[in-house]
C-alpha cells in the first residue's frame, strides 16, 4: 500500500495488531495520520515495518523495539514525538531510521546490543545528551541536526567496518577519537558546526575509500598532509585553524578551506586538481601570485580568493573559464582585469584592489589608459586658468539647460500623458529629464532605450522611447498599442514587468523593471557587450519584436530569477482578421523552427521549438548557431 498519497487521510487500524502472521507492512507515503496503535507490539511475525513519509503523531509504542523478528524499522519523515523506547530486545534489527521527526530525550544505550545493526539514522530530531559509548560498533551512525553534547565514543570502528559518522550541527566537543586513525573502511566523516578541537588523525585523510571530509565550523588545528586519499572528492574545513600544503588532489571536486590560518603561496603545479569545481580559500593569509595553472581547471565554476594578500596580475587564462562565481576582492592585485570579466556580472568581484584597472567603464575601477595627473607639478597660474574656464563652461551650460527646460517644460511637458499599470512611486518629470545621451544604452530602428534611476526609490528602470514620424507612424502606433495592451495585463512572475506608459503626440515611452544581472547568455556563454554599456538582450527586449525564446531574451534579476522578454507575443502581434504572418524574420539563426523558413506563419509552435533549443543549450553548454547549414541540431 506504499506510495498512495491519493488515499483519504486516515489512521492506522488498531485491528492490524491482531495479524499474528503479518511479516511485511509497507505503507510509505500513504497519507496516514494519527498515532501508531499500541496493538502493533503484538505483531510477533513482523520483519519489516515502513510507515515513513506520512503525518503520524504521538510516541513510538513501547513494545515496538521488542519484536523478536523485526529486521527493518523505518519511521522517518513523520511528526512523532516523545522519547525513543528504552526497552530494546529486537536483536535481529538491521536498519533503524527514525530521522526527521520531533523526538526528544537521549539515545538509548540499548542500541549497543544490536549486533546486526548496519545503520542508525536519528538526524533532524531534538535528541540531547551524550552518544552512548556502546554503539561504536554500528557501521553507519547519522545523528546530525540534534542537540547532542559531550564527546564521540572512543572506540568507533572497533570492528573495522565503520562506513561513516555524520554528526554535524550538534553541540559535541572534545577531539576526534584516535580509533579512526586506521579505519580503512571509512567513506565519509561529517562533524561540521560543533565544538570539536585538536587535530585530525592522519589516517582519515588517507583512508583509501574516503569520499568526503566535512569539518567546517569547529576549532580543529594542525596540518593537513600534502597528499590526500585518491578517491576524496569533497573537503570542507572552513572556519578552523588548519595549516595546509596541498599538491595532490586527484578526484577533488569541492575544496572549501576559507577562514583558516593558511599562509604562503599556492603551488604553481596543480594539474591534479583537474576535476575541481568549487574552490574557496578566502579569509586566510595567502600571498604571492595567483597561479596561472588555475586557468587550466576547466571544471572550475566557483572561485573565491578574497581577503588574502595575493599580488600581481590576474592570470588572463582565468577568463577562459566558465566562472559563475568569482571573488578576488580585498587583495593587492594590479594590472588589467581580464577582458572576459569586464562587465557588470562581476561588479563585486574585484573590490578593494586599488591597482586594478579596466578598458571599458563597466566596473567601478579606473581605466587602464588613464594617465594620472601630478598636481604637485601644476603651477598656480595653470590652476587659476583651469578654474576660470571650468566656471565659464558651467555657466554657459546652465544657461542653455535653463532655457531648454523653460521652453520644453512649458510646451511639451504639459502634453505628456502618464498611465500607470501598477502602484508606483515615480516622478514623471524625473524620467523625462533623464532621457539624455549619458543614460542611453541601446538604439534600434524604432527608438531608443535608456537606463534611468528613480529619484524617489533609487531603483533602476529601463525606458523604451518610440518616436513617431510620418513614414512609420501607422506601423509603430500598432506596435506600441499591441505591446502595451498585452504586457500591461501580464502578471506572471517570470515575465518582465511593464510598469507604466508615458506618451504624447510625437513620442511614446514604456517603463519596465530593470534586470540587473542581464541576459542568460552572458552567464552561459560569457557573451560580451554588444552595446555601449549593456548587453543587447535589453536592446532586443525593448526595441524589437521577437517571437522567440532565446538565451539573450531570458533576463536575470539581482537574485538570478529568470524572466522572459516578449515571449508569447507571436500570435497577438497580428490583429484578428489579418493574415497570421510576418514579413520580418521572427527569431535568430539556430532558434527558428524549420517550418517557419518557408511558411512564415507565426504560432505557438514556433515558441515551443525555440524553448526546446534553449533546453538543449542549457544541458550541453553549446550555442545552437555554432556550425554551418549542414549541421544537425542534435549534433
Count of alpha carbons within 13 Å of 15, Cβ hemisphere only? 1
Residue 402, Cβ density class (10 Å: 0-12 exposed, 13-18 middle, ≥19 buried):
exposed
Cell readout for 441 is: 544604452
445 Cβ contact list (under 8 Å, min separation 6):
543
CB atoms within 10 A of CB 379: 8
* Residue closest to 503 by CA, chosen among 533, 468, 538: 468
86 Cβ contact list (under 8 Å, min separation 6):
108, 110
20 marked ligand binding residue: no
Cell readout for 407 is: 521652453
Instruction: Please write down the long-range contacts of 608-614, taking CB distance under 8 Å and 24 or more positions apart.
Output: 610/548, 610/549, 610/550, 611/549, 613/549, 613/550, 614/549, 614/550, 614/551, 614/554
236 forms beta bridges with: 214, 256
CA distance 397 to 414: 24
Torsion angles phi and psi, residue 464, rounded to 5:
-100, 125
DSSP structure string for 81-111: EEEPPS----TT--EEE--SSEEESPPPGGG
Say how many Å lie between the first and final Cα of the chain, rounded. 45
* Under 8 Å between Cβ of 325 and 303: yes
DSSP structure string for 48-88: EEE--SSEEESPPPTTGGG-TT--EEE--SS--EEEPPS--
CA distance 229 to 204: 9
CB atoms within 10 A of CB 582: 16
Helix (H, G, I), strand (E, B) or coil at 547: coil
CB atoms within 10 A of CB 550: 26
* Under 8 Å between Cβ of 72 and 95: yes
Cell readout for 571 is: 500570435
Count of alpha carbons within 13 Å of 278, Cβ hemisphere only? 10
Taken in order 615, 619, 625, 631, is the CA torsion positive or negative? Answer: negative
Tell me the chain's radius of gyration from C-alpha atoms: 33
Which residue positions form the known binding site? 464
Which residue positions form the known binding site for ATP? 464
Amino acid at each position: 500500500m506504499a506510495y498512495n498519497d491519493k488515499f483519504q487521510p486516515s489512521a492506522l487500524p488498531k485491528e492490524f495488531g491482531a495479524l499474528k502472521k503479518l511479516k511485511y507492512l509497507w505503507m510509505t507515503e500513504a497519507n496516514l495520520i494519527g498515532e501508531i496503535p499500541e496493538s502493533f507490539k503484538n505483531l510477533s511475525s513482523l520483519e519489516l515495518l515502513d510507515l515513513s513519509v506520512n503525518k503520524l503523531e504521538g510516541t513510538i509504542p513501547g513494545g515496538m523495539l521488542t519484536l523478536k523478528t523485526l529486521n527493518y524499522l523505518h519511521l522517518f519523515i513523520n511528526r512523532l514525538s516523545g522519547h525513543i523506547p528504552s526497552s530494546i530486545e529486537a536483536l535481529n534489527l538491521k536498519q533503524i531510521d527514525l530521522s526527521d521527526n520531533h523526538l526528544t530525550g537521549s539515545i538509548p544505550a540499548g542500541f549497543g546490543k544490536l549486533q546486526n545493526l548496519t545503520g542508525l539514522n536519528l538526524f533532524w530530531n531534538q535528541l540531547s545528551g551524550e552518544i552512548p559509548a556502546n554503539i561504536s560498533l554500528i557501521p553507519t551512525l547519522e545523528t546530525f541536526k540534534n542537540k547532542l553534547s559531550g564527546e564521540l565514543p572512543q572506540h568507533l570502528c572497533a570492528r573495522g567496518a565503520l562506513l561513516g559518522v555524520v554528526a554535524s550541527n550538534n553541540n559535541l566537543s572534545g577531539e576526534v577519537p584516535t580509533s579512526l586513525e586506521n579505519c580503512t573502511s571509512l567513506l565519509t566523516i561529517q562533524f561540521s558546526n560543533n565544538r570539536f578541537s585538536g587535530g585530525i588523525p592522519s589516517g582519515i585523510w588517507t583512508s583509501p575509500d574516503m569520499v568526503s571530509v566535512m569539518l567546517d565550523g569547529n576549532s580543529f588545528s594542525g596540518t593537513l598532509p600534502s597528499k590526500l586519499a585518491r578517491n576524496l572528492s569533497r573537503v570542507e574545513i572552513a572556519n578552523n585553524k588548519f595549516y595546509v600544503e596541498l599538491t595532490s588532489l586527484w578526484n577533488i571536486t569541492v575544496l572549501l578551506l576559507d577562514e583558516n590560518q593558511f599562509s604562503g603561496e599556492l603551488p604553481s603545479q596543480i594539474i591534479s586538481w583537474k576535476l575541481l569545481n568549487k574552490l574557496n580559500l578566502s579569509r586566510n593569509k595567502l600571498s604571492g601570485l595567483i597561479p596561472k595553472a588555475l586557468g587550466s581547471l576547466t571544471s572550475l565554476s566557483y572561485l573565491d580568493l578574497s581577503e588574502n594578500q595575493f599580488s600581481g596580475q590576474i592570470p588572463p587564462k582565468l577568463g577562459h573559464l566558465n566562472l559563475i562565481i568569482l571573488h578576488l576582492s580585498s587583495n593587492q592585485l594590479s594590472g588589467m582585469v581580464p577582458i572576459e570579466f569586464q562587465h557588470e556580472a562581476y561588479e563585486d568581484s574585484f573590490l578593494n584592489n586599488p591597482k586594478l584597472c579596466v578598458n571599458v567603464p563597466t566596473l567601478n575601477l579606473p581605466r587602464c589608459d588613464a594617465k594620472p595627473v601630478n598636481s604637485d607639478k601644476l603651477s598656480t597660474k595653470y590652476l587659476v586658468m583651469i578654474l576660470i574656464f571650468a566656471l565659464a563652461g558651467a555657466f554657459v551650460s546652465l544657461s542653455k539647460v535653463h532655457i531648454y527646460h523653460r521652453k520644453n517644460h512649458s510646451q511639451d511637458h504639459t502634453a505628456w500623458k502618464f498611465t500607470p499599470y501598477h502602484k508606483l512611486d515615480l516622478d514623471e518629470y524625473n524620467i523625462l529629464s533623464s532621457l539624455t545621451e549619458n543614460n542611453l544604452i541601446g538604439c534600434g530602428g524604432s527608438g531608443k532605450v535608456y537606463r534611468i534611476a528613480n529619484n524617489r526609490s533609487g531603483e533602476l528602470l529601463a525606458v523604451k522611447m518610440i518616436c513617431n514620424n510620418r513614414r512609420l507612424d501607422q506601423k509603430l502606433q500598432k506596435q506600441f498599442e499591441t505591446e502595451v495592451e498585452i504586457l500591461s495585463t501580464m502578471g506572471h512572475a517570470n515575465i518582465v514587468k511593464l510598469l507604466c506608459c508615458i506618451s504624447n503626440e510625437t513620442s511614446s515611452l514604456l517603463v519596465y523593471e530593470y534586470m540587473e544581472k542581464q541576459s542568460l547568455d552572458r552567464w552561459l556563454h560569457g557573451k560580451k557587450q554588444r552595446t555601449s554599456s549593456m548587453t543587447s538582450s535589453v536592446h532586443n527586449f525593448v526595441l524589437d519584436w521577437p517571437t522567440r525564446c532565446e538565451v539573450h531574451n531570458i533576463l536575470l534579476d539581482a537574485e538570478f530569477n529568470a524572466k522572459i522578454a516578449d515571449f508569447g507575443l507571436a500570435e497577438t502581434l497580428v490583429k484578428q482578421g489579418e493574415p497570421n504572418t510576418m514579413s520580418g524574420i521572427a527569431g535568430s539563426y539556430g532558434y527558428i523552427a524549420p517550418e517557419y523558413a518557408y511558411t512564415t506563419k507565426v504560432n505557438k509552435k514556433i515558441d515551443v521549438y525555440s524553448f526546446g533549443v534553449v533546453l538543449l543549450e542549457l544541458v550541453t553548454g553549446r550555442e545552437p548557431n555554432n556550425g554551418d547549414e549542414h549541421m544537425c541540431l542534435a549534433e
